[in-house]
Amino acid sequence: MAENFPIPRTCPFAPPPAYERMREQAPLVRTKLPGGDVWLVTRHAEARQVLSGTGISTNPATPGHPSGAMSAEPSTSERDAFMEEFAVGHFIDLDPPEHGRFRRLLIPEFTVRRMRELRPAIQRIADELIDDMIAKGPEAELVEAFGLALPSLVICRLLGVPYADREFFQSRTRVMISSADDQETRHAAAMEIRGFLDALVTKREADPADDLLGRLLGTEALSHDEIVGVMFLLLVAGHETTANMIPLAALTLMRHPAQLAALRADPGLWPVAVDELLRYLSVVDWVAFDRVATEDQEIGGQFVRKGEGIFVLGASANRDERAFERPDEFDIGRSARHHVAFGYGVHQCLGQNLARAELEIALRTLFERLPGLRVTVADDDVPVKHESPIFGLKALPVAW
């Protein structure tokens, strides 16, 4: 039986030490949650098996789903009604074939070709943000000035959301995903975002534009409420994860100066380095990898019964010695493309091409434009988001 879950990190650059002990113990480890016991998947091969396998559901409405075990509070009609209303259009929580109905509409918006076309706009945004930092410099707080700002600008441009509203959805998102706030407060923040998007979709139905939202409206394949739900997912996921990755990745590179020097000498190494950063940091870990068995099956030699909940520990799978040589070392020369930072299988992150482009452009531009970039506080004084299921830094003071 594993210790209390979730387990907080003790180092910004590594998963909890308990993950290594659990990985050595077994590929699946049982843990006790307030609402019941669930399985934790600790190893890479079994993680991919669960994330891609049949007989597995991602839908929170499926009996035994671990989302219910995270809270000791009994289900209520009010909570069930909230979840039913809120879940409309949230295709990442749907199983095939319904999941595929949404994904087929959205895949063309996130292809490698489409992201290649978006790269000049991402580059302009990165340069403008650094221009602003330099104008106000020689010091800045990198999370607010660059980490949050870049993906927010990009996703607003992509979706057709007014950038003037970024502070609203950023502040509401922080509340929604924070474990420091109670459930009622988090639900209220989520509904505020959904209400904002409901009004935006209504407005754009009468005046569509040539952007992702306009193209979704033009298909007539989704209902109004489904489009609102899709926009919610893309808006929140499209800035929150990358916003956490950029400052933490920058700090990681500054703590590995020889590898940063290699990237400066050969910018062609950046795509591989980005995948290694995704593997090494694994900021999402378990929060997107909640599943439930819908039939009896064997996973990693362990018999898992129908109705038993499962959390895949992405940060543990990405440090599995069976899949990665010297997994606790940061190595930009490593071929880490088979990491599970974006998941695996039919629910693999739809926006991974966008995330890779943003990380590559943001980090390369940051270190090219500010060659003297340095952190102005000790590692122990960098505030981290221990209370958030998506790991990251609260702030990163820098100078150049």
Please list the ranges in the chain whose pLDDT falls under 70: 1, 3, 72-83, 177-181
* pLDDT for 183: 73
pLDDT tens, residue by residue, 44-93: 999 999 999 889 999 999 999 998 888 766 666 666 666 677 788 899 99
pTM comes to 0.93
pLDDT tens, residue by residue, 242-262: 999 999 999 999 999 999 999
Provide the β-strand partners of residue 39: 30, 310
Fold that domain 17-399 belongs to in CATH:
Cytochrome p450 (1.10.630)
**Residue 383 is encoded by which pair of tokens?**
């505030």
* pLDDT for 76: 63
* pLDDT for 121: 96
* pLDDT for 235: 85
Provide the β-strand partners of residue 30: 39
Q: CA 206 from chain center: how many Å?
A: 32
* pLDDT for 72: 62
Q: How many C-beta neighbours within 10 Å does residue 180 have? A: 12
